[in-house]
């Protein structure tokens, strides 16, 4: 029966899963490719009673409230800074908004010494046997775990190794997004300013520059080549007014550039033998798909079902997906709209978006849809269950 679980990825889903596995008496190990926990980053939100209830059960809600940004209103302005559209802080910031780096740190700290952490390494090969999964690490280390879980995001290596190439599971949604630090800019707490021309968005908020642009076709580039990514952004934004020259100047020196396509992950089933996926690796939508909340819900369910089944993954894995699959896919749908919302492709599209989002009834309706999507799941109470004292079979 399962005792040891290797989790790949220490952002949101990974630490949340490690927390619950540890609490149920399993022995989680987390391997993260970055040399240390990533700090700062964009702000991410939680909304509704399911997300907040789980954070409370994990004992991290108060600490997250202390670290929260307070949310920021989103203002869309023209070249001269005149406001064209404005949305309240809770539209983008939900009920609780924190910087992703703060969230990861707080979740990792919550698992305490029940988790073994390995930074600066990754998995290069997985071989499943009847006894477990033999794992080869980039460092050359080899170890065997009872189970392996990919919590390594939309471009998951675990998914590629165990479920097949990325092109079979990831669909490009026609847009790219990027973010980088804006030195000298005040950090969280100020409203986000956004500027559009057709097919492009440039924004400043939380001490970061953020851009989005339309690209119906996928762009071929090396994910590890920072300069190539900077060139792509410069090409798309060269010659634009407003604050864009300042953002591009900061881009030259940026060492922490985040650049990715907006895409949707669709892999079924989420598990194969002793290997499972959780968070964006299973059901990500890059941005706008409530992936942060889904990651915490899915981690709770995966660990809980393993505990309820006494560590029998053959019983637990199908139950995990049956419980969370539809919930995650409903939340993901938001990601389909994100690009078109951020950077409509025509001037008329921008005017229409502004008109609609300046209407209180439209904002109420959109937030109600998001609120419903975040709450439509009944989660069992797994507290008190452990690998050694499972729930009687259902
Ligand atoms: C700009 C932006 C804003 C967002 N805003 C929100 C929001 O407001 N609300 C919301 O719900 N969601 C938001 N999201 C989405 C949210 O950030 C993700 O859904 C969430 O981070 C998913 O968590 P995860 O742990 O599954 O994956 P990730 O956060 O992608 O983490 C994956 C981790 O795995 C590591 N990793 C990757 N490859 C390997 C490897 N080969 N070996 C070891 N480790 C590896 C990475 O370094 C990383 O630490 C936003 C996303 C972006 C880009």
- Residue 163, CB half-sphere, CA atoms under 13 Å: how many? 27
Residue 334 has pLDDT above 70, yes or no: yes
14 CB within 6 A, ligand 1: yes
* Structure token pair of residue 345: 């492709």
Average pLDDT over residues 298-324: 97
Residue 97 has pLDDT above 80, yes or no: yes
Band of the pLDDT at 188, cuts 50, 70, 90?
Answer: low
The Å distance, Cα 284 to ligand 1 centre, comes to: 9
What is the C-alpha separation between 31 and 219, in angstroms, rounded? 29
The Å distance, Cα 215 to ligand 1 centre, comes to: 22
Question: Could you give the 3-state DSSP secondary structure of residue 130?
Answer: coil
Domains and CATH numbers, the chain: 4-70+98-170+263-347 (3.50.50.60)
Per the CB < 8 A criterion, the answer to whether 295 and 278 are in contact is: yes
282 CB within 6 A, ligand 1: no
Average pLDDT over residues 343-350: 98
Is 168 buried (19+), middle (13-18) or exposed (0-12) by CB count in 10 A?
exposed
Q: Which helix (H) or strand (E) holds 142?
A: strand 142-145
DSSP codes, 205-266: ETTEEEEEEE-SSPPP--TT-HHHHHHHHHHHHTT--TTHHHHHHHHHH-SS-EEEEEEEE-
298 CB within 6 A, ligand 1: no
What is the C-alpha separation between 279 and 345, in angstroms, rounded? 30
Look at residue 75 in the predicted model and tell me its pLDDT.
94
Band of the pLDDT at 242, cuts 50, 70, 90?
Answer: very high
Look at residue 374 in the predicted model and tell me its pLDDT.
87
Of 166, 203, 292, 299, best ligand 1 pocket probe by most atoms within 8 Å of the beta carbon: 292
Residue 393 has pLDDT above 80, yes or no: no
Of 15, 282, 287, 371, best ligand 1 pocket probe by most atoms within 8 Å of the beta carbon: 287
């Amino acid at each position: 029966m399962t005792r040891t679980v290797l989790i790949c990825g220490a952002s949101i889903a990974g630490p949340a899963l490690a927390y619950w596995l540890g609490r149920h008496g399993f022995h989680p190990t987390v391997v993260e490719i970055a040399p240390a926990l990533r700090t700062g980053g964009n702000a991410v939100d939680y909304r509704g009673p399911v997300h907040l209830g789980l954070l409370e059960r994990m004992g991290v809600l108060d600490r997250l409230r202390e670290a929260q940004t307070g949310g920021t209103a989103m203002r869309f302005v023209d070249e001269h800074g005149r406001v064209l559209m404005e949305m309240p802080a809770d539209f983008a910031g939900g009920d609780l908004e924190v910087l992703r780096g703060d969230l990861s740190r707080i979740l990792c700290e919550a698992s305490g010494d029940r988790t073994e952490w390995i930074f600066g390494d990754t998995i290069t090969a997985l071989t499943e046997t009847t006894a477990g999964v033999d794992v080869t690490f980039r460092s050359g280390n080899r170890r065997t775990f009872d189970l392996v879980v990919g919590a390594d995001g939309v471009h998951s290596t675990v998914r590629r190794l165990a479920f097949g190439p990325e092109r079979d599971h990831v669909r490009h949604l026609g847009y790219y997004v990027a973010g980088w630090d804006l030195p000298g800019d005040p950090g969280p707490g100020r409203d986000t300013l956004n500027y559009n021309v057709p097919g492009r968005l440039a924004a400043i908020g939380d001490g970061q520059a953020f851009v989005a642009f339309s690209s119906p076709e996928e762009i071929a580039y090396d994910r590890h080549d920072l300069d190539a990514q900077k060139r792509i952004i410069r090409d798309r934004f060269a010659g634009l007014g407003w604050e864009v020259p300042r953002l591009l100047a900061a881009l030259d020196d940026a060492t922490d550039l985040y650049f990715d396509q907006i895409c949707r992950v669709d892999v079924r089933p989420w598990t194969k033998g002793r290997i499972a996926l959780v968070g964006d690796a299973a059901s990500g939508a890059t941005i706008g798909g409530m992936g942060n909340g889904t990651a915490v819900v899915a981690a709770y369910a995966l660990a809980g079902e393993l505990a309820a089944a006494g560590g029998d993954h053959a019983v637990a894995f199908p139950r995990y997906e049956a419980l969370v699959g539809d919930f995650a896919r409903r939340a993901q749908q938001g990601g389909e709209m994100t690009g078109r919302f951020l950077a409509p492709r025509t001037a008329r599209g921008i005017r229409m978006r502004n008109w609609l989002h300046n209407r209180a009834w439209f904002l109420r309706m959109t937030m109600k849809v998001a609120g419903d999507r975040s709450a439509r799941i009944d989660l069992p109470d797994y507290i008190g269950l452990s690998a050694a004292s499972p729930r009687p079979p259902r």
